[in-house]
Amino acid sequence: MLYIVGLGLGDERDITIRGLEAVKSCKKVYMEAYTSLLSFGLSSDGLSRMEKLYGKTITVADREMVEEKADEILTEASKFDVAFLVVGDPFGATTHSDLVVRAKKLSVEVKVIYNASIMNAIGVCGLQLYRYGETVSIPFFTETWRPDSFYEKIQRNKELGLHTLCLLDIRVKEPSIESLCRGRKCFEPPRFMTINTAIEQLLEVEESLGVSAYGENSRCVGLARLGYEDQMIVAGSMKELLDVDFGAPLHCLVIVGHTHPVEEEMLEFYSIK
Amino acid sequence: MLYIVGLGLGDERDITIRGLEAVKSCKKVYMEAYTSLLSFGLSSDGLSRMEKLYGKTITVADREMVEEKADEILTEASKFDVAFLVVGDPFGATTHSDLVVRAKKLSVEVKVIYNASIMNAIGVCGLQLYRYGETVSIPFFTETWRPDSFYEKIQRNKELGLHTLCLLDIRVKEPSIESLCRGRKCFEPPRFMTINTAIEQLLEVEESLGVSAYGENSRCVGLARLGYEDQMIVAGSMKELLDVDFGAPLHCLVIVGHTHPVEEEMLEFYSIK
């Protein structure tokens, strides 16, 4: 049996009891590397706290390893119980469909243990989940690569009066240019897009495309570290949020659509006074 | 402090460890009635299993009581720790913004403990969450009330190639016509819309509006009892799903938009052969 266990959005205590029982029953426990970067990149003892609570040794697997060793993991799972831990929900913002598809092809039984992900926890800011349109991703711009496919989607949501959740780029295990040149494996430190950078990029695209999908006065909500003790939620115009220091990652951003009175009341609490 | 604790989507074991610790620390524990209807309507010993695991007496509060006694609950929460348990995520399909707004007005501190909700767990069917458009609700038709506001939204999502999540009606504590006539409080048994009824209603609306937003050959995924041991996921045309017995509630339905290859592979596993 392969258990794919969502860890939720905070630290090791955000696993469900059902998830914890599954992990404890497994002979081998893998954890997706994103998880480690998020939970341990931020606190160095994260992995050991997790191992202590779960009572298991955890093998951290980056995307490369999951792809390369998927068959090995699945062969194990055909013989005994294996857990694969995933930050958030197994089918949240990133998807693990690939692993599930491979497992099903090999007739390995899969059990998914749900948990919170950004896709539903975003509801905390008070904007109703069923009033969101298509979700967009904002990638880091480089000098030569400045994609703007999110623009059209935001514009469409706006026309329909819907809110837009913007997921902000995470870059982990990016080979450094230097290492590529030298033919050695060497990685850039992980980068997480801040709300400020996201807004700068959004405004740059608006300026070049100029169809007024939004502007510096557009209302937004910036959210940082959802699920952590120090989560931060601030509502304001793009211009106002540009000056807010949201602190450590992860950040995300909502562009507000048409609102109902209860939504307004909630936003009020988070507004820059 | 008022803790609003998401219980997730299965039984009492789907609470997170963070949630369980919060509940155990509270002097008083309320639970939203929907929860009770879902978790106990289906298994009669649900409440006692919950109380045993949480080590607390739980006061079940229906919507009426929450509205009437909100101030009382909040006054308690200003003096000691109170937990308010909610099925799924606190800000998932139903919203508890009202309670939060009232709490904030009274300066009662609120802490939200996230969990899975249908809004992200729906990812299990393999259709990517960021490819969903606006969510719709399908209400029970009556002889005189046959609203079709969902139709336009489904059509719009379809035009954009997006998937549509259809949440199906739940009727609890509906006063019976007989009891209204006699002036006594007496309620109809709870009703949960099945996938079959939802499709019948959808096809009826298509027939009367006839703009071909969908039809009996449109691809859908029906999902029942997500998070339970016996959850059921079946992909097929509306016509095919009409004949599937999905069993006990809760049901929901996805109308499939434009798909990517990985999505296709996942749907394949759930397809009626």
pLDDT digits (tens, 9 = 90+) for B229-267: 899 999 999 999 999 999 999 899 999 999 999 899 999
Q: What's the pLDDT tens digit per position in A231-245? A: 999 999 999 999 999
Q: For A248, which DSSP code?
A: S
Residue B225 DSSP code: S
Portion 77-136 of B in contact with A at CB < 8 A: 89-93, 95, 97-98, 100-101, 104, 112, 114-117, 119-121, 123-124, 126, 128-136
Domains of chain B (ranges, CATH numbers): 2-116 (3.40.1010.10), 119-270 (3.30.950.10)
Rounded Cα distance, B5 and A8, in Å = 14
pLDDT tier, A40 (very low <50, low <70, confident <90, very high otherwise): very low
Whose tokens are 């035009």? That residue is B159
A10–chain B Cβ distance below 8 A for any pair? yes
Question: Could you report the per-residue pLDDT of B209-224, keeping only the tens digit for each?
Answer: 988 999 999 999 999 9
Task: Over range B98-115, report the average pLDDT.
Answer: 92
Q: Which two tokens stand for residue B211?
A: 């703009």
Is B45 within any annotated ligand binding site?
A: no
- Do the beta carbons of residue A226 and residue A9 sit within 8 Å? yes
Total CB pairs under 8 A between chain A and B: 177
CA–CA gap between residue A195 and residue B97 (Å, rounded): 25
Q: For B211, phi and psi rounded to 5 degrees?
A: -100, 10
A89-110 pLDDT, tens digit per residue, is: 988 755 578 888 889 889 999 9
d(CA A168, CA A173): 17
Nearest Cα residue to B117 out of B34, B53, B43:
B34
DSSP-derived pairing of the beta strands A219-224 and A251-255: antiparallel
Residue identified by tokens 């557009």 is: A218
Note whether B137 and B94 are within 8 A (CB): no
B37 labeled part of a ligand binding site: no
Q: Is B92 annotated as a binding residue?
A: yes
Residue type, A145: W
Q: What is the average pLDDT across A108-122?
A: 94
pLDDT at B40: 47
Is B28 in CB contact (< 8 Å) with chain A?
Answer: no
Contact A116 B262 (CB under 8 A): no
With CA atoms as reference, report the closest residue to B40 among B3, B4, B85.
B85
Q: Annotated binding residue at B209? A: no
H-helix or E-strand containing B261?
helix B261-270
Give the mean model confidence (pLDDT) for residues A188-217. Answer: 92
Q: Where is A85: in which H helix or E strand?
A: strand A82-86
* Beta bridge partners of residue B110, listed in sequence order: B2
Cα–Cα distance, B271 to B221 (Å, whole number): 9
Cβ within 8 Å, pair B17-A21: no
Mean pLDDT estimate for chain B: 89
- pLDDT of residue B177 exceeding 70: no
**Looking at this protein, which amino acid is placed at residue B138?**
I
Pairing relation of β-strands A28-32 and A58-61?
A: parallel
Q: How far is B194 from chain A (nearest CA, A)?
A: 20
What are the chain B neighbours of A263 within 8 Å (beta carbons)? 97
Model confidence at B203, pLDDT cuts 50, 70, 90, reads very high
Q: Do B17 and A14 touch (CB under 8 A)?
A: yes
Q: Write the residue in B123, B131, B134 that is nearest to A130 by C-beta.
A: B134
Reading the block at residue B10, the tokens are 């299965």
Per-residue confidence (pLDDT) for residue B94, from 0 to 100:
56
A149-194 residue pLDDT tens: 999 999 999 999 999 999 999 887 666 666 666 666 677 777 899 9
User: Between the CA of residue A141 and those of A130, A154, A221, A254, what are the distances in Å?
Assistant: 30, 18, 22, 19
